[in-house]
Structures are given as C-alpha cells and as structure tokens.
C-alpha cells in the first residue's frame, strides 16, 4: 500500500515537471542568427552656394550731436568784479557783431577799488609835482624825482585800466563777432568775480559733429573718411556729407563709446546740440564672399564646409567685412566658384558623407 502511494506521487511529480517546462517555453521565440552591425555613417542632405569674388561694403551706424569745435569758442569775461543787471540774449541765439549781450555794473568792491585808484593817482601826481619843485630848487635829487615820476605814472595807468574796462560805471557787454550763443553762465542780478566766464559764442562755420562709435568698430574708421550725417527728428532727414577730422584713442567714461569728430561743410544749417545719425561705409574690393549662413563658430574663430568626393571638408576661416547676409573670408584656401555648404551645415563633421540637394 505504501509502495503504491510512493509510485503514484513520483509519477505525478514527473508529469508536473514536464508540464511546467512546456508552459515556460511555449512563448519563447526560436533563436535567430546574429544581425550584422551597421558600419556605414548616415548621409546628410545639404545645400550649397558658390564662393564669389566681388566688392563688399560695410556700413557702421553711430549717433552723436552738433557741438562747437574745441578751441573755437569766444569767451566773454570781465577783468573786474561786476554785477549783471540784465541778460539780453539766450543760449542758441544768433547774434551780430557789436550786438548787446549783457548789461553790467561794477560791484561795490570794484567801485571802492576805482575810488582807491583815483585817490592813489591824485596823491601820486601831487607828490611828483612837489618833488619836481623841490628838484628845481636843488632840494631833491634826480633819483627822488624819477621815483616820484614812476609812482605817478603807475597810478595813472592803473586808474586808466579800470576806467577803460568800464569799472567806474554801468556798461554793456557786446558781441565781438557774429555767431551763436553757445552757453550762458550768468543770470540777472548775479555777482561775477573777475575773470569768470559770462557767456560763450561760436561762429556758425565753426561747429562740427561728435559721434560715439562702438570700440570694436574704431579700427575700421580713419581720418578723412567720408561720414554721412542725417539730422534726427527733422522732416527732411537730408543727408550731409562730412569728413572724419579726429578719431580719439580713448573710451568716453560717460557713454562708453569712442568719440569721433566730424568736420561739416559750410552752411549746413544744423542746430547746435542737434541730434544726428551717422553712417560710415568701408569697402573691400576683389574680396572672396560667402553667405553668412555658411559660417559656423569654431573655438575662437569660424569655419565652413566644402564638399569633396561626396564628403564634407572643414575649413578654418577669418572674417573681414560682414554686411547683411554676406561675409568676406580671409586667409583661406577657398577658390572663386567653389561650392560651400550654406544649409544643413550645423550637423556636419569633417569627413562626413553628404548628399547635395538639387
């Protein structure tokens, strides 16, 4: 009885093991042969454009204003302390020669100085006359006479200088020549120390333009280059041809730009401190020119691709003038008429297989 039970259990276990084996392997696919790995690189589809040789022009745009030429301002000042009674002109006003600019009067301190000069001159004259009489009576020496005469002369000159300057009375400051009032430094009732500037006048033909240029563009600008100027916010917006007079070699600490001074033609009619747009063009003749889309940044420079026997060839290039959608390439082994990749170049690598799209 026990033997039969053992045999039955053994048979059932064997059947269960066979059933489990077939159940586990019923969905397993048959082993397939190893597939070959793809050794060939994918082929990129690109478009090309031919290298051309032509003249390329770059336009540098800058902004500035109309200013008085440095060193050309005529400054009005007084040699004595004065008080401004009335200002007769305004900044920017055009004045004619001898036109009244300011009404002024001597300050109390100046009037005291004039009175002291008068008293000193009168005393010196009397002293000289007395010394002269004593000299005639043989009571004074030549040296005493000369000293008295010198003192009288100096006192007279000092008084005459103050009187000629108008320090003894009210007066009018007049324009020395025709021009534009560039700046006004005083106002009615103001006391002005001796030598201080009252106002500045600039002749109409002694104005120029000062424009600010980006530091990276300065190398393209040189003296005597033609500069096209356009008044901003004026209906005509006419073009005025100027000439670069001075290219400075410093960055303006206020604007962080490089100042360029432009000489203007006569009778431009530009307003002092008027705002201007400047365009400076430079050109390169017989240049190798490629589309800007063909250029790719590479480290600290640029590169582009040509195609040789169905594969991409990388070329390191240096850029010259860049204008619009074109760029001049320098120090390159490219030839005129050679095809460069202008579309699809971002996915290229040197030696990669390419296919040129029609």
Choose the final residue of a domain: 187, 202, 217. Answer: 202
78 and 161 inside one domain: yes
Query: How sure is the predictor about 243, in pLDDT bands with cuts at 50, 70 and 90?
Result: very high
pLDDT at 40: 44
Residue 19 within any structural domain of the chain: no
- Asked whether residue 131 falls in the same domain as residue 248, the answer is no
Question: CATH no. for residue 83?
Answer: 2.40.50.100
Query: Do 170 and 241 share a domain, yes or no?
Result: no
Please provide the average confidence, as pLDDT, over all residues in the chain. 83
For residue 24, give the 3-state DSSP assignment: helix
Write the CA distances from 326 to 125, 173, 210, 219, integer angstroms. Answer: 87, 60, 30, 20
Do 325 and 261 lie in one domain? The reply is no
- Evaluate whether residue 348 is within a structural domain: yes
Claim to verify: residue 280 and residue 231 sit in the same structural domain: yes
User: C-alpha 235: how far from its chain's center?
Assistant: 25
Residue ending a domain, among 179, 202, 225, is 202
pLDDT at 143 over 70: yes
Domain that holds residue 139: 74-202
CA neighbours closer than 13 Å in the CB half-sphere of residue 86: 6
* Burial classification of residue 144, based on how many CB atoms lie within 10 Å of its CB (0-12 exposed, 13-18 middle, 19 or more buried): middle
Number of domains forming the structure of the chain: 3
Confidence of residue 7 (pLDDT cuts 50, 70, 90): low
Are 251 and 299 part of one and the same domain? no
Same domain membership, residue 196 and residue 124: yes
Give the separation between CA 348 and CA 42, rounded to whole angstroms. 11
Task: Establish if 99 belongs to a structural domain.
Answer: yes
Residue 109: inside a domain: yes
Based on the fold, state whether residues 292 and 327 are members of the same structural domain: yes
Buried b (16+ CB within 10 A) or exposed e, 18-53: eeeeeeeeeeeeeeeeeeeeeeeeeebebebeebee
228 and 148 housed in the same domain: no
Specify the CATH number for the domain of residue 297: 2.40.420.20
Domain of 239, CATH number, reads 2.40.30.170
Q: Taking the CB of residue 122, how many other CB atoms lie within 10 A of it? A: 14
Judge whether 20 lies within some domain. Answer: no
Do strands 44-50 and 354-356 pair parallel, antiparallel, or not at all (unpaired)?
parallel
Supply the pLDDT for residue 196: 87
Residue from 316, 321, 345, 320 nearest 332 by CA: 316
pTM (2 d.p.)? 0.59
- Whether 194 and 81 map to the same domain: the answer is yes
pLDDT tens for each residue of 268-300: 878 888 899 999 988 888 888 999 999 999 888
Q: Do the domain assignments include residue 209?
A: yes
Q: How far is CA 179 from CA 82, 275, 320, 325, in A?
A: 24, 20, 45, 47
The residue from 284, 312, 344 where one domain ends is 284
Chain CA centroid to CA 215, Å: 7
Shared domain for 309 and 248, answered yes or no, is: no
Assess whether 186 and 88 both reside in one domain: yes
DSSP label of 33: P
Residue 101, helix vs strand vs coil:
strand
Residue 263 pairs with which residues in a beta bridge?
Answer: 208, 243
What are the φ and ψ backbone dihedral angles of 213, each rounded to 5 degrees? -110, 140
223 domain-assigned: yes
Q: Does the pLDDT of residue 18 top 80, yes or no? A: no
| Any domain includes 10 | no
């Amino acid at each position: 009885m026990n033997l039969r039970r053992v045999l039955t259990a053994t048979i059932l276990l064997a059947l269960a093991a066979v059933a489990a084996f077939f159940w586990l392997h019923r969905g397993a696919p048959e082993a397939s042969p190893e597939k070959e790995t793809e050794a060939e690189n994918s082929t990129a589809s690109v478009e090309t454009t031919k290298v051309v040789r032509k003249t390329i022009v770059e336009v540098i745009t800058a902004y500035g204003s109309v200013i008085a030429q440095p060193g050309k301002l005529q400054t009005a000042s007084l040699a004595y302390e004065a008080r401004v009674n009335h200002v007769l002109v305004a900044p920017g006003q055009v004045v004619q020669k001898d036109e009244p600019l300011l009404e002024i009067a001597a300050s109390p301190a100046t009037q005291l100085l004039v009175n002291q000069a008068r008293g000193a001159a009168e005393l010196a004259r009397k002293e000289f006359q007395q010394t002269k009489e004593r000299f005639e009576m043989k009571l004074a020496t030549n040296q005493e006479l000369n000293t008295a005469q010198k003192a009288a002369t100096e006192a007279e000159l000092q008084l005459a200088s103050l009187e000629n300057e108008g320090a003894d009375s009210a007066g009018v400051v007049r324009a020395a020549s025709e021009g534009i009032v560039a700046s006004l430094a005083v106002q009615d009732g103001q006391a002005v120390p001796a030598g201080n500037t009252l106002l500045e006048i600039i002749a109409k033909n002694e104005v120029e333009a000062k424009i600010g240029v980006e530091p990276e563009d300065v190398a393209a600008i040189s003296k005597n280059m033609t500069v096209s100027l356009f008044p901003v916010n004026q209906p005509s917006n006419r073009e005025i041809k100027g000439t670069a007079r001075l290219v400075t070699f410093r960055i303006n600490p206020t604007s962080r730009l490089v100042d360029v001074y432009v000489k203007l033609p006569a009778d431009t009619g530009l307003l002092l401190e008027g705002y201007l747009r400047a365009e400076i063009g430079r050109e390169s003749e017989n240049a190798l020119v490629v589309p800007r889309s063909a250029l790719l940044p590479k480290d600290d420079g640029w590169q582009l691709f040509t195609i040789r026997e169905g594969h991409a060839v990388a070329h390191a290039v240096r850029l010259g003038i860049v204008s619009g959608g074109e760029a001049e390439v320098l120090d390159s082994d490219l030839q005129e008429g050679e095809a460069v990749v202008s579309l699809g170049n971002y996915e290229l690598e040197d030696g990669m297989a390419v296919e040129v799209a029609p």
